[in-house]
A and B are shown apart, each in its own frame.
Chain A
Amino acid sequence: AQRVTQPEKLLSVFKGAPVELKCNYSYSGSPELFWYVQYSRQRLQLLLRHISRESIKGFTADLNKGETSFHLKKPFAQEEDSAMYYCALRQNTGFQKLVFGTGTRLLVSP
């Protein structure tokens, strides 16, 4: 069965500090991994997908198949990064549903 684990419910850092939001997954095949962000009172938005290998708003995430992880990183956190972050997994065999982790709330203090 597919499972996504985000061990931290809350991550609190100061502005300018590095950030790493952890995500581990379990899936027997080759998954597609995503990070979604939900700012206060806004809809869920796609932040990153691993196949794009791009950096959005300074965030990057590398898929580590050996450790089955897809941690989200940013070298210098900004206050506007405060939001809920969800890691999600999708099977890569056609169009399939997303399985979400429980989310991590990132709080960046001035």
Chain B
Amino acid sequence: GAVVSQHPSWVICKSGTSVKIECRSLDFQATTMFWYRQFPKQSLMLMATSNEGSKATYEQGVEKDKFLINHASLTLSTLTVTSAHPEDSSFYICSAGTDNSPLHFGNGTRLTVT
């Protein structure tokens, strides 16, 4: 079945630094990728929708200058957390799909900002 790969699986960074998370669709071309954030024992909250070749669409309350999204190809989207702070520590999950197909999810990236 379709596989979505997310890298890294976990990352620890110092406050004020930036972290890039990659999301790749391995065996299909994803016209759209989604970035979610999941706090402990809570549901997935959509952060933004990433469309190949165009600007991402951010959900209300998500700072686009802080969470930079680039979807340069049909198989790769990146999320960069800029100037990370401890409150950005969370589990970030990407998902990808094509028109009318169920979304497939990456394994997630656990970000810890110290």
Residues of A participating in the B interface, judged by any CB pair closer than 8 Å:
34, 36, 42-46, 49, 86, 94-95, 97-103
How far, in angstroms, from A97 to B97 measured CA to CA in the complex? 10
In the complex with contacts A95-B32, A102-B42, A102-B43, A46-B99 CB distance below 8 A: no
| 0/1 string, B73-114, CB within 8 A of A gives 1 | 000000000000000000001010111101111111000000
Considering only CB atoms, which chain A residue lies closest to B105 in the complex? A44
Q: Which residue of B lies closest to A9 (CB)?
A: B41
Instruction: Collect the chain B residues with CB atoms within 8 Å of residue A45's CB.
Output: 105
Number of B residues, CB within 8 Å of A:
21
B99's contact among A36, A43, A95, A100, by CB below 8 Å, is which? A95
Contact of A46 among B49, B100, B102 (CB under 8 A): B102
Closest CB of chain A to B71's CB: distance in Å? 14
Give the residue of B31, B34, B42, B100 whose beta carbon is less than 8 angstroms from that of A98: B34
Q: Which B residues lie at the A interface, using CB under 8 A?
A: 31-32, 34, 42-44, 46, 49, 93, 95, 97-100, 102-108
CB distance from A96 to the nearest CB of B (A): 9
Indicate the member of B31, B43, B99 with the most A CB atoms within 10 Å.
B43
A-B contacts, 18 of them at CB < 8 A, read A42-B107, A43-B105, A43-B106, A43-B107, A44-B44, A44-B93, A44-B105, A46-B102, A46-B103, A46-B104, A86-B43, A94-B99, A98-B34, A98-B103, A99-B46, A100-B43, A102-B42, A103-B43
Q: Tell me, in angstroms, the Cα distance from A95 to B30 when the chains sit together.
A: 11
- Tell me which of A36, A42, A94, A97 contacts B34 (CB under 8 A): A97
> What's the Cα separation between A42 and B105 when bound, in Å?
10
